[in-house]
Structure 1
Amino acid sequence: MLARFENAAAAMSEMRRHQEQVANNLANASTTGYKKDRIFSEALNERLTKDGSPRSDRRLQQANDLSGGSLEDTGNPLDVALGDEGFFVTQPEGGGAERYTRAGHFVVGSQGTLRTPEGRQVMGEGGPIQIPAEEGGEINISEGGRITAGGNEVGALRVATFENPEQLERVDGASFVAGDAQPQPAETPVVVQGKVEASNVDPVAELTNMIEVQRQFEAQQKTIRTTDGVLGRATQSLGGM
């Protein structure tokens, strides 16, 4: 009987994590370049207790869904998207671990450094990309990621790929760190100027998931209440004997 409580409580804990994951995906449905989270559980060492109740050791795993989002036109020459695999490479001011992102909404800082809206430097093949103010003129970014300003080349976007991108660890929003994964330069990057990649979150699907998880949570609550009632009646019966 107590195993029912334990199993229901464990299931409710998993569902709470699922709800948090779904809520986070929904909150980032409009975040440029965001890749949704997925959570799945593994049942290990499945067995029966002495009274025949099923037991198992359960482990939650979280994974990034790296499927592509749609490309949206912005008309901004500093907005870029990747038409193929890979990630743009950025780095916090002053150094630190490189971050990898599909969010290609960039701006030029006060010192001419190409940056993310959060202030991270956009890395090129030779380091942070600088767009000198004196160059002026139209900014063009080729399919290969080469940047020209006023007809002069000022840098080339660094695009990294990973043999196992699932190993990337999310830092925040749409940015990741490599973790145990090893970045490699993209051989033939496909950079699209004037577009950004939208989040790959489907709000309707996530809302459906949220409703389904809530129903399962309520079913487990009912199981606990029913079991508690049975135990309460049994205790009263024994007490009256």
Structure 2
Amino acid sequence: MKLDNTVAAVVTGGASGLGAATARALAAKGVKVAIFDLQKEKGEAVAAEIGGVFCEVNVTSDESVDAGFAKARAAHGQERILVNCAGTGNAIKTASRSKETGEIKHFPMDAFNWIIQINLVGTFRCIAKSAAGMMTLDPCDEFGERGAIVNTASVAAEDGQMGQAAYSASKGGVVGMTLPIARDLMSEGIRVNTILPGIFNTPLLQGAPDNVKAALAASVPFPKRLGQPEEYANLALCMIETGYFNGEDVRLDGAIRMAPR
């Protein structure tokens, strides 16, 4: 797909981190970008910087997502690109015993469901609604391409650590649905791919002590550093621009394989 000012995109989680870097990279190509996020102040700032539009969206709500797409399409027209970066995580063992009291607790089901609803169901919700919109478009090339979707999973989908049962399940679900969705949409000319980032220098880590970040960087085989959001954006744009890129799940992690803890 050729990226220019005739193309519109939606980036969920676009107010910061991987999403903000992707929004900036798309805008630098001339693409009209709408940012979906709950961080209103940050989202509006990024949208103003790139000449885009901010839509306050909760990906766990049909009504909120519908309103976001309506606002984005009113401003820029039907999107040909969707990049799903909205997500969150927690760290809770499936069952654990207190060292102090011996009390046994299990993972709270509402906390497990919360992660699944945001990371997995929220991603699928945005895919389904965006794909339905893309199907109304005329193809943009001689092969019938109408759109491209990029999702964000995590290396935890394949080698999750202790306490990551919910997070790994949600991201494993994103990986698992990539190929079936690509097959669902193949006759409509809509491609679907997923990135599995490793340890990236996002807002989640920026507040960590320097020694913690140094230890994480040292655990990466090569290069021994944290991933940069711009590197995620580069891969996302490669997936969008390369027409033969479809149905793939790609790790972006410096060859790291996460240890149990």
User: What's the TM-score once normalised by structure 2's chain length?
Assistant: 0.22
Instruction: Give the structure with the larger helix fraction.
Output: 2
**Structure having greater relative contact order (Cα 8 Å, sep ≥ 6):** 1
User: What's the TM-score once normalised by structure 1's chain length?
Assistant: 0.23
